[in-house]
Chains A and B, each alone.
Chain A
């Protein structure tokens, strides 16, 4: 077979730019929130498309979540993925990053002989950037995190990785796991002829059955004791809202802008904030 077998791991996250499901205090009601494809994952999809365009092969989008997460698999197909796999199982609830990594690794293993696994750098809801490297550890493969550019030559991946104040140029053998930085090339919004639109695809059960596959833990021979609460070494112990201090801000409003600005600068001086030394 020519070309590479490429897995792209994606996640459905709450759309925080939408007002839907956002409570007045800023917290999110996940059940009512509008959902979207994790924006970081689009950079991963773009890299997968680049490799396939150059070398051929197949792109398989994988996600884990409740049944509606199928929507982002359809979206991935619209961008050009060949197939999608949804891992959905009630036993996955409350999985932390380690348990999630085991579950996603189990899907990749089930697919067999994957050459490259792409993930986004992190998700916008969890924001940990841990799941990718933890999957690589399970797979016992090398990883390149924060990848910005890559070229595949003679079965090796040459990547440019962003580090503090610079870049590292690396070469790795395959299979490998790559997390793609959000400074990489954005996803080209190109529609593929074999897919119509997300909504249309989701209505077309016949086509859906050939392209999007739903599996549970038993289907992929995953150990249910390594996922969910039981398989997670961490829990969220307590959450609290951030600083509703209020009132500590000296707010200037209602006057002409020039008056507000003058009052603010006068107050800064009166408060001896030391701003004078900063002005040039």
Chain B
């Protein structure tokens, strides 16, 4: 048995739907747990959770802590905080690592848990690893020395085209939130099972200072970038909001496509935030990503660099996007995009005579 404490994942669910990030976290936790020789535990909080714990076993959890209470039917910061603390404080020792999703739940809850325990938390990680760390600085003697088997929480560091490895080995749990779409889930194994550990929680009156009046899903306004097979994105190089007409037009050449954008085009007010790809927007990995007038700043890159095929169009031959695109054209996107559309349709469409509607 390992000397280390286990790895804990907080399951992300809305209305008893486990969100894909939960499976991604369990996948990452499985890899980390193997290296440490420890178990993967999950915490799931909610009401009438049914067979959710079984699903967590299928995706890699060895043990599942379940807090099932009517007060947890809807996510609120303080009730979920109380439930998570009840589980964590009931453990014999703190987990070695505690992972949450970088979602509107995880990014809301994880900082409160970290501040409560006064432990380290790294936001929006794109890679998680285990390794040793020697702290050479002597400014704080309590930190100096070699630390074995730490969590390497790796995230892009912005405004600077860098990746940074963040460490916090001095106190457990070592916490991180993981960016949606960056970790690989395990293949589900429906025969896997594990131990369910019910945990009770005593709420305080102060936990109900926030109440949820209503949760509304705006299907019509939602741009599902993460599900599209092709994304055509526009950047600051479009020059104006009207430039997105060209982006939409090229996008229409593909059956299952969506329009994306860089942060700069969103900040300029040319297109709503829902279209934003990148660190503060969506992470996508479509079969084809076409970037029009996007320079390829790190903030954009982390959101789309896992796309199977990337085509970039930019006037500036030195634009960073050409360092990681698979194909590039140096030229005026307003000239290139319409020609690309035409060429795709004539040279590639399987059956050019059949006009399809929608898509």
Contacts of B133 in A (CB 8 A): 237
Cβ A279 vs Cβ B349 within 8 A: yes
Q: A249-B326, A253-B330 are in contact. Are A124 and B359 (CB under 8 A)?
A: no
Cβ B104 vs Cβ A163 within 8 A: yes
A233 to B14, CA, bound (A): 31
A127 to B102, CA, bound (A): 12
Q: Is A199 an interface residue (CB 8 A)?
A: no
Mark interface residues in B55-96 (1 if CB within 8 Å of A CB, else 0).
000000000000000000011111000000000000000000
A16 to B161, CA, bound (A): 11
Cβ A26 vs Cβ B112 within 8 A: no
- Complex partner residue of A250 from B110, B257, B288, B328, CB under 8 angstroms: B328
- Complex partner residue of B332 from A98, A257, A277, CB under 8 angstroms: A257
Residue of A nearest to B266 (CB): A182
Number of residue pairs spanning A and B whose beta carbons lie under 8 angstroms apart: 303
Cβ A168 vs Cβ B212 within 8 A: yes
Kindly identify, within residues 33 to 68 of chain A, every residue whose CB is under 8 Å from any CB belonging to chain B: 33, 39
Residue of B nearest to A267 (CB): B327
Cβ B121 vs Cβ A234 within 8 A: yes
Q: A235-B135, A235-B166, A257-B336 are in contact. Are A249 and B327 (CB under 8 A)?
A: yes
Kindly identify, within residues 167 to 200 of chain A, every residue whose CB is under 8 Å from any CB belonging to chain B: 167-173, 176, 181-183, 186
Cβ B107 vs Cβ A279 within 8 A: no
Please give the number of chain A residues whose Cβ is less than 8 angstroms from any Cβ of chain B in the complex. Answer: 98
Q: A137-B111, A252-B329, A253-B330 are in contact. Are A97 and B121 (CB under 8 A)?
A: yes
- Complex partner residue of A237 from B116, B124, B165, CB under 8 angstroms: B165
- Complex partner residue of B344 from A158, A257, A279, CB under 8 angstroms: A279
Q: A124-B158, A183-B273, A267-B327 are in contact. Are A236 and B104 (CB under 8 A)?
A: no
Contacts of A171 in B (CB 8 A): 210-211, 213
Q: A170-B210, A253-B330 are in contact. Are A165 and B111 (CB under 8 A)?
A: no
Q: Is B137 an interface residue (CB 8 A)?
A: yes
Q: Is A113 an interface residue (CB 8 A)?
A: no
Q: A164-B104, A252-B330 are in contact. Are A278 and B159 (CB under 8 A)?
A: no
Q: Is A258 an interface residue (CB 8 A)?
A: yes
Please give the number of chain B residues whose Cβ is less than 8 angstroms from any Cβ of chain A in the complex. Answer: 113
CB distance from B12 to the nearest CB of A (A): 9
Q: Is A84 an interface residue (CB 8 A)?
A: no
A13 to B160, CA, bound (A): 12
Cβ A237 vs Cβ B166 within 8 A: yes
Contacts of A261 in B (CB 8 A): 329, 336, 339-340, 343
Cβ A130 vs Cβ B121 within 8 A: yes
Cβ A239 vs Cβ B140 within 8 A: no
Cβ B115 vs Cβ A249 within 8 A: no
Cβ B143 vs Cβ A235 within 8 A: yes
- Complex partner residue of A249 from B122, B165, B297, B323, CB under 8 angstroms: B323
Q: Is A269 an interface residue (CB 8 A)?
A: yes
9 CB-based A-B contacts, threshold 8 Å: A136-B112, A142-B77, A169-B216, A229-B137, A235-B135, A237-B152, A245-B323, A275-B288, A277-B350
Chain B residues within CB distance 8 Å of chain A: 14, 19, 74-78, 103-105, 107-112, 114-116, 118-124, 133, 135, 137, 139-140, 142-143, 152, 156-168, 170-171, 206, 209-219, 222, 229-230, 253-257, 264, 267, 269, 272-274, 279-280, 287-288, 297-299, 301, 308-309, 311-312, 317, 320, 322-332, 335-336, 339-340, 343-345, 347-350, 356, 359
> 6 tightest A-B contacts by CB?
A233-B120, A253-B330, A26-B161, A128-B123, A234-B120, A137-B115
Chain A residues within CB distance 8 Å of chain B: 13-14, 16-17, 25-28, 33, 39, 96-98, 101, 121-122, 124-125, 127-134, 136-138, 140-146, 158, 161-173, 176, 181-183, 186, 229-230, 232-246, 248-254, 257-258, 260-262, 264-269, 273-280
